[in-house]
Amino acid sequence: MNSQIVKLFGLIVVLFAVLVGFTSYWSVFDAEALKEKTANKRPLLEQQRIERGRILADDGTVIARSVRKGRGDNLRYLRRYPEGSLFGHPVGYSFVREGDSEFEQFHNDELVGNESEFVSLLDELRGQTQEGNDVVTNLDPEAQRVALGALEAVGFGAVVAIEPSTGRVRVLASNPPYDPNRVPFELTELNQNELESPLLNRATQGQYPPGSTFKVVTAAAGLDTGAITLESTIDAPSTIDVQGQPLANADGASYGPIPLEPALTGSVNTWFAQLGEKIGADPLFDYMDRFGFGSTPAIDLPDDQVYRSGVFEGRDLLGRGDPVDVARIAIGQERLAVTPLQMAEVAAAVANGGTLMKPQIWSRVVDPDGRVTERLDPSRYSQAMEEETAAALTDAMEGVVSEGTGTNAAIPGVPVAGKTGTAETPFNDSCVGGGDNQAWFIGFAPADDPEIAIAATVECTDSFGGELAAPIFREVAETLIDDE
């Protein structure tokens, strides 16, 4: 019987080896995938036991912090947002049951202090519990408050302000706001509120027709490709015929042959439509790509919460080779849909001599001992245009504010460059009771040494960009320039 006993033991060894194999599979090899499963609440519950780091504004204002509840096995931390609805966008929220969003979600690893298993083990041996890091943002509470207040006075919309030379995001406001402290109690209501969609970050998820602000992109492409120079003129009658449909100037005036500067100052549609045709659809798409159209902006927010901008056919982006009406794209019509963040990047690229920096909300990570462990290293997204092109365009955009459609954006003693836009949105069903216009202003100041580039937009209004969005630009720009 002995040889059978030995074989039986061999079988037991094999069976136990299978157990070791399965245990290693679950605990090590498949562990990461298991932690991603929605049925697995452990990662969130574990995180709740870690004191999540704070999120701070540029001036040290606390935007989000954690408060301790219970003790022992019941110890957990809950998230509090002392500034309430001011930073609901773009900071988002983080709760165990409701999950997380926006900045809280993107910077989760830093906030909970996630490290490699090896480092965690060393910490454990040294008796240290995992602690979260603070993340300091570039956000300016005063300017954010001004932007949100200005929007609340006139309607739903968004304001994005970026420091052109670094890509630092100073303001990212979306109206209507929501208070993240209320999320545990009324997430369902917030989600179902289709009339206001308060959880939609209009700055990064609002997809609006850009109207005449897009002429900045067309002008950049025209100058940079050599299709025009500052001196070349295009004859701009009151109406031209494009693809069998008349395309008219907003004021109905006929301008005759004029160069870029008066065409931009007067936002002459027939002039830019012809420029668009002169450039051609494919080169125009090339320049749009350089500005970041067609891609998810490289901002530090979750990809699914930042939408792309471009020419859309339903949900699909059109590009080179697709049948499009380039004349109407050139004046910001056709099926163009853009986010306020994208238009702020357009202004920032012109302001920064044609170099577009990646927009970033975070500034630095500070560990629990107060040491800065990571610092934002501003990086280039693209060279959207030549420096000379940017300089020429800046001159033309200054004319818009000094004597054109954007005079409401003028700041006494500070040169301002900008462009207004008013897109008609007669088919926008979400504009209940409001007007049919999408009012825009994009620009930067001071024009000779830009500190801030801003896009402001208001949806569903009867007013024009110059009347409604330009003053918001001015208020926010004044706040930010005074700060410096």
Q: Which of 60, 117, 194, 412 binds another protein (CB under 8 A)?
A: 117
* Cα–Cα dist 311/209, whole Å: 10
Secondary structure letter of residue 436 according to DSSP: S
256 CB neighbour count, 10 Å cutoff: 10
Peptide bond into 90 cis (omega under 30): yes
Interacting residue with another protein among 91, 98, 104, 121 (CB under 8 A) = 121
Structure tokens at 203: 């700055």
26 binds another protein (CB under 8 A): yes
**Closer residue to another protein (CB): 51 or 134:** 51
Q: Which residues pair with 337 in a beta bridge?
A: 310
Q: Site for another protein (CB under 8 A): which residue of 47, 48, 205, 428?
A: 48
Only one residue has tokens 């109690």, namely 185
Nearer to another protein, 22 or 303 (CB): 22
Does position 42 interact with another protein (CB under 8 A)? The reply is yes
- Residue 126 engages another protein in binding (rule: CB under 8 A): no
| Count of residues engaged in binding another protein, rule: CB under 8 A | 46
Tokens of 13: 């060894």
Establish if 18 lies at the interface with another protein (CB under 8 A): yes
Nearest-approach distance from CB 99 to another protein, in angstroms:
16
CB nearer to another protein: pick between 23 and 239: 23
Task: Give the H/E segment covering residue 95.
Answer: strand 94-95
- Which residue matches tokens 């997430």? 187
Note whether 45 binds another protein by CB under 8 A.
yes
- Tokens encoding 282: 């494919």
Among 72, 358, 69, which residue's Cα sits nearest to residue 80?
69
CA nearest 210: which of 45, 13, 471, 421? 421
The residue (of 46 and 322) whose beta carbon lies closer to another protein is: 46
**Residue among 9, 226, 251, 303 that touches another protein (CB under 8 A):** 9
Single out the residue of 59, 115, 124, 251 in contact with another protein (rule: CB under 8 A). 124
Please report where in the chains the tokens 């052109």 appear, as a residue.
164
Contact 269, 291 (CB under 8 A): no
Residue number, 22 or 185, with CB nearest to another protein: 22
* Residue 229 binding another protein, by CB under 8 A: no
Give me the least distance between CB of 34 and another protein, in Å please: 4
State the nearest-atom distance from the C-beta of 191 to another protein, in Å.
21
Query: From residue 54 to residue 83, what is the string marking binding to another protein with x (rule CB under 8 A)?
Result: ---------------xx-xxxxx-------
Q: Which is nearer to another protein, 37 or 320 (CB)?
A: 37
Q: Which residues pair with 280 in a beta bridge?
A: none
Residue type, 324: V
C-beta of 78 vs 248, nearer to another protein: 78
Alpha helices, H only, 57-128 = 88-91, 102-106, 108-112, 117-125
Nearer to another protein, 15 or 252 (CB): 15
Decide whether 97 or 315 has the Cβ nearer to another protein.
97
Q: With contacts defined by CB under 8 A, name the span among 14-22, 163-171, 225-233, 293-301 that binds another protein.
A: 14-22
- What the block records as the tokens of 314 is 């339903």
Instruction: Report if residue 122 touches another protein, rule: CB under 8 A.
Output: no
122 or 195, CB closer to another protein? Answer: 122
**Do the beta carbons of residue 47 and residue 112 sit within 8 Å?**
yes
297: Cβ–Cβ under 8 A, 6 or more apart, which residues?
204, 306, 308, 339, 341, 342, 345, 359
Name which position in 46, 189, 282, 303 contacts another protein (CB under 8 A). 46
Name which of residues 239 to 268 contact another protein (CB under 8 A). none
CA–CA separation, 321 vs 428, rounded Å?
28
Our finding on whether 185 is near another protein (CB under 8 A) is no
Q: Is 28 in the site for another protein (CB under 8 A)?
A: yes
In the bound state with another protein, the residue whose beta carbon lies nearer, of 31 and 372, is 31
> Bridge-partner residues for 134, per DSSP?
366
Under rule CB under 8 A, residue 41 binds another protein: yes
Q: For residue 185, which phi and psi values (nearest 5 degrees)?
A: -100, -30
- Distance CA(161)–CA(457), nearest Å, equals 12
Of 329, 240, 232, nearest in space to 276 by CA: 329
CA dist 208 and 202 (Å) reads 9
What is the separation of C-alpha 243 from the centre of its chain, rounded to a whole number of angstroms? 34
Which of 30, 303, 304, 387 forms a contact with another protein (CB under 8 A)?
Answer: 30
> Site residues (CB under 8 A) for another protein?
1-9, 12-13, 15-16, 18-20, 22-24, 26-28, 30-31, 34-35, 37-42, 45-46, 48-49, 69-70, 72-76, 117, 121, 124
